[in-house]
Amino acid sequence: MGEQQKPGDLVQGTLDMLVLRTLARGAMHGYGIAEFIQTTSNNVLRVEEGALYPALHRLELRGLLASDWGISENNRRAKYYRLTAAGRKHLAVESEHWGRMSAAIALVMNSA
């Protein structure tokens, strides 16, 4: 797996936040989450499976996600994740934090 940070690699905390935000739109399986993030970010953010699934399971163990097994669009068995109340709360906290951070960074980067 990648040792150097390439553009498009996501730090784990950020990945968690993106996953949570994706799932805020509704329950989804792992593949769907990865595709959504990739598509919505105009193919800049590519989520590696080796990072995605451990992240999903970690979030589930922390109680921020809940999982159910269901049938996908093309009639395959798939595991769907959804946000729990705790997950929603965590997402709110994290996105607020991210907002402040990126604004602060932008201020520094755009300074004269």
Partner 1 sequence: MLLESVEGTWLRLKALVHRRKLDRDLDDELAFHLAMRAEKYGSGPQARAQAQRQFGNVTRIRETCRELWTFAPLETLWQDLRYACRTLKRTPAFTAVALLSLALGIGANTALFSLVNVMLLRALPVKDPQGLVEFVRATPAGAMMTNLPNPVFEFLRQDRNALADVFAIRESHPALRDGGQVNRVMAHQVSGTFFRSLGVQPLRGRAILPDDDWTGAANRVAVLSYAFWSRRFGQSPSAIGANVRLSGELFTVVGVMPAEFFGVDRSRVPDLWVPLATNPNPGEVWVLGRLRPGVALPRARVVLEPVFHRALEWIWDTADMKQWPEQESRGFMSQRLIVNRATEGTSGVRWSYWEYSSTLKILVGLTILILLIACVNLANLLTSRSAARSREISVRLALGAGRWRLVRQLLTENLLLAFVGGALGLLLAGWGHRILLDFLLSDPLSGAFNYRLDPRVLAFGLALSLATGLLFGLLPAIRATRAGLADALHGAARQTGTAQQPLAKGLVVLQVGLSTVLLIGAGLFARSLRNLDVADLGFARENLLLTDVQTSAKTPQARQQFWTELTRRLGVVPGVRNVALAGDAVFGNGGWNNTVWIRHGGRATQNVHLSENYVSPGFFATAGVPILAGREFSERDRESTPDVTVVNLAFARRFYPGENPIGQRLSGGDRPAAPTEEIVGVVGDAKYGTVREELQPMFFHPLEQAPPLSSCVLHVRAVSNPILLEPAIRREIEAIDGDAVVGEMKTVPQIVHTQLREDRMLATLASFFSLLALALGAIGIYGIVAYRVARRTAEIGIRMALGATQGAVLWLVVRETLILLVCGVAIGVPSALAGARLIRSQLFALSPSDPLALSCATAAVLAAGALAAFLPARRAASAAPLAALQSE
- 66 forms beta bridges with 82
One-letter amino acid of 28 = M
List 24, 60, 82, 98, residue binding partner 1 (CB under 8 A): 60
Residue 27 in contact with partner 1, rule: CB under 8 A: no
CA 51 to chain centre: 10
Q: What are phi and psi of 4, to 5 degrees?
A: -85, 155
68 near partner 1, judged by CB under 8 A: no
Binding footprint of partner 1 on the chain (CB under 8 A): 1, 29-31, 34, 48-50, 53-54, 57-58, 60-64, 69, 72, 74, 76-79, 86
